[in-house]
Amino acid sequence: MSLFDECGGKTPKHTEDHCNSCICNQFRRLTAGRIVDIIFSGVEYGNLVFMCFDSKTCCATFGDETGTFIADCNKVEAIRLVNG
């Protein structure tokens, strides 16, 4: 099973209308492989590789050297697009 299989889950928790924050809209437009920093629950997570966004579950999936990070886009407080 690939890490990319986690996107497009079969049991959505939200409707597409629920994933409509400005951060969710940014994730919709990002391409896989883009390096980002995010703030989630007041903690900054840096140099994450964006993998995918599932608009049915509102889940954005990232990877780094330690593993996979999945976040509800509605709970991400900020995103920084890292040049590179």
Question: Is there a domain that residue 56 lies in?
Answer: yes
Q: What's the domain count of the chain?
A: 1
Q: Enter the pTM of the model.
A: 0.79
Domain holding 59, by residue range, is 12-81
**What is the mean predicted confidence (pLDDT) over 39-56?**
95
Residue identified by tokens 């990232």 is: 62
Percent of the chain's residues with pLDDT above 70: 80
Question: Is there a domain that residue 75 lies in?
Answer: yes
Give the residue among 40, 51, 31, 29 at the shortest CA–CA distance from 79. Answer: 40
Looking at every residue in the chain, the average pLDDT score rounds to: 86
Tens digits of residue pLDDT in 11-36: 445 455 689 899 999 999 999 999 99
CA of 75: how far to CAs of 2, 22, 26, 47, 65, in Å? 25, 11, 13, 19, 23
